[in-house]
C-alpha cells in the first residue's frame, strides 16, 4: 500500500521501487539427517533473512539514495545500507520481547542472536517510524531509540474496507450462511488471546444459541482445539483463512459485532478495518486499542469474561447502546494510506535539503 501511494505522487524528488529477493533458498531442508537435531525450517528462514536478502541488497544499493524498511523485523538490513539514509517502520516490539524481558519471554539462543542483530540495525537507522503513542512510550521506556529519530506514521485502511455493500458475490459470506455471527480476525499468536475469545463466545452462545463465531486465521493449535471441545462450541464456529480483502470486507460489513481480544498490539488494524466497514467493535481495554478506536469502540477488561458476555448481551438485545455508525465511520476516516505515505516521504525529502 505504501509503495502504491508513493508511486502515485509525481512530485516526489525520488522514484520509489521495491527491492525484494527473487529466490527463497531451501538449503538445510535438503539434508534429511539434520532435521533430527535442528529446527531446519527455522534455520533456512534465518539463512535467507540474514544472508540471502543482505547479499541481494548489496548488488543494487548503489542505485538508490534512500532506503525504507517497511517491517522492523528486517532492520538487520540497516547494517548493509547507508544508515544515515535509511528508515525503519516499527510496528511493535514483539520481536524483541525475549531480549527486553528474557525471564518472561524465553526463546532459543539462535533466535536471540538474530533479533539482537535486528535490533542494533534499527538503532542505527536515521528514522524509526512508529504506529501509536503506546509504541513510542514503550520504545522510550526501554531506551531503545534516540527520541529525536522517532516519527509517528499511523497505518491506513485499504479502499476495499468501506461500508458500501458490494454487488460482487462473496465466497466467504456463502460459507458463513445466514446466521448472525461474531467476527474475529486473528493469528495464533499468544497475545491474540484466542482462549479469551472462545470463553467469551461460549458464554454468550449459551444465551444466544443461534449465534456463530467466524474466525479468520490459521488452523487452530492442538491446545486451542482441546479448549473448543471442552467448551462444546465446535459446531458453532466457522474458521476461514486466505481471504482476499473484498471477502474480508464483506465479512466485516455483515458481522453482528467484531471482537478483538488482544492483550498486546502495535496498532490493531482489524479495529479500524471493522469500523470503516460500519461494524460495531468490542475490544480489550488496552491503551493501543483505545488510542486507535477512541469512543467508536466499546471496551472490556481483557480477562473479565463475564463483563464481555454482559456487554455483548446488551449490544445484541439493543443495538442502540453501541456507538453510532456515523461515529464508527468517522473514527476510521482518521486513518489513510495517503497520510501514512505523506509522513514517510516528507521525512526523506528533508534529507534533500
Helix, coil or strand: residue 173: helix
d(CA 107, CA 113): 10
Q: How many CA atoms lie within 13 A of 316 on its CB side?
A: 22
Query: Is 171-332 CATH 3.30.750.24?
Result: no
Of 285, 250, 292, 257, residue with least CA distance to 271: 292
State in Å, rounded, how far the first CA of the chain is from the last one: 27
Q: Which residue in 338, 331, 156, 328 sits closest to 253, CA to CA?
A: 328
- Domain boundaries defined on the chain: 2-19+64-156+336-352, 171-332
Give the pLDDT of residue 223.
Answer: 97
Instruction: List pLDDT tens digits, range 306-330.
Output: 999 999 999 999 999 999 999 999 9
Q: Decide if pLDDT at 244 tops 70.
A: yes
Per the structure block, which three cell numbers stand in for 67? Answer: 532506503
Asked if residue 126 lies in contact with residue 86, where contact means CB atoms within 8 angstroms, the answer is yes
Angstrom distance (rounded) from CA 310 to CA 100 = 37
Q: What is the DSSP letter of 93?
A: S
d(Cα 272, Cα 115) in Å, to the nearest integer?
30
> CB–CB of 258/252 below 8 Å?
yes
255-260-265-266 Cα dihedral, nearest 10 degrees: 20
pLDDT at site 31: 64
pLDDT digits (tens, 9 = 90+) for 3-39: 899 889 888 888 899 998 777 777 666 666 555 555 6
The tens digit of pLDDT for each residue in 160-187 reads 999 998 887 888 999 999 999 999 999 9
Q: Could you write out the DSSP letters of every residue in 292-327?
A: HHGGGSEEE-TT-HHHHHHHHHHHHH-GGGSPPHHH
Ramachandran bin of 268, using left for φ above 0, alpha for ψ from -120 to 50, beta for the remaining angles:
left
Determine how many CB atoms are found less than 10 A away from the CB of residue 13: 11
- Choose among 273, 250, 272: nearest CA to 181: 250
Q: What pTM did the predictor assign? A: 0.91
Cα–Cα distance, 344 to 348 (Å, whole number): 7
How high does pLDDT run on average in the chain? 93
Grid cell in block for residue 323: 456507538
C-beta separation of 138 from 292 below 8 A: no
Amino acid at each position: 500500500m505504501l509503495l502504491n501511494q508513493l508511486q502515485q505522487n509525481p512530485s516526489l524528488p525520488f522514484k520509489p521501487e521495491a527491492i525484494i529477493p527473487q529466490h527463497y533458498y531451501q538449503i538445510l531442508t535438503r539434508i534429511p539427517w539434520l532435521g533430527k537435531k535442528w529446527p531446519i525450517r527455522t534455520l533456512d528462514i534465518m539463512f535467507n533473512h540474514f544472508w540471502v536478502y543482505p547479499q541481494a541488497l548489496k548488488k543494487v544499493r548503489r542505485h538508490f539514495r534512500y532506503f525504507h524498511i517497511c517491517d522492523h523485523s528486517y532492520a538487520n538490513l540497516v547494517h548493509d545500507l547507508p544508515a544515515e539514509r535509511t528508515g525503519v517502520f516499527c510496528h511493535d516490539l514483539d520481536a524483541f520481547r525475549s531480549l527486553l524481558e528474557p525471564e518472561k519471554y524465553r526463546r532459543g539462543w539462535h533466535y536471540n542472536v538474530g533479533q539482537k542483530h535486528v535490533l542494533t540495525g534499527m538503532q542505527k537507522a536515521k528514522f524509526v517510524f512508529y504506529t501509536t503513542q503506546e509504541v513510542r512510550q514503550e520504545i522510550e521506556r526501554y531506551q531503545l531509540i534516540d527520541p529525536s529519530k522517532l516519527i509517528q506514521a499511523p497505518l491506513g485502511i485499504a479502499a476495499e474496507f468501506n461500508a458500501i455493500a458490494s454487488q460482487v458475490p462473496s465466497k466467504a459470506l456463502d460459507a458463513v450462511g445466514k446466521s448472525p455471527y461474531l467476527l474475529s480476525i486473528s493469528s495464533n499468536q499468544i497475545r491474540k488471546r484466542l482462549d479469551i475469545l472462545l470463553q467469551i463466545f461460549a458464554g454468550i452462545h449459551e444465551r444466544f444459541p443461534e449465534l456463530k463465531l467466524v474466525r479468520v486465521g490459521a488452523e487452530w493449535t492442538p491446545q486451542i482445539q482441546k479448549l473448543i471441545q471442552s467448551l462444546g462450541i465446535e459446531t458453532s464456529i466457522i474458521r476461514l483463512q486466505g481471504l482476499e480483502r473484498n471477502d474480508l470486507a464483506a465479512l466485516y460489513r455483515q458481522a453482528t459485532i467484531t471482537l478483538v481480544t488482544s492483550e498486546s498490539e502495535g496498532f490493531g488494524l482489524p479495529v479500524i478495518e471493522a469500523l470503516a466497514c460500519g461494524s460495531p467493535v468490542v475490544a480489550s481495554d488496552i491503551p493501543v486499542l483505545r488510542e486507535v478506536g477512541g469512543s467508536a469502540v466499546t471496551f472490556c477488561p481483557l480477562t473479565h469474561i463475564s463483563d464481555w458476555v454482559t456487554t455483548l448481551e446488551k449490544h445484541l438485545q439493543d443495538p442502540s447502546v453501541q456507538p453510532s455508525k456515523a461515529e464508527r465511520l468517522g473514527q476510521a476516516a482518521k486513518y489513510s494510506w495517503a497520510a501514512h505515505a505523506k509522513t514517510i516521504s516528507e521525512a526523506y525529502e528533508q534529507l534533500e535539503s
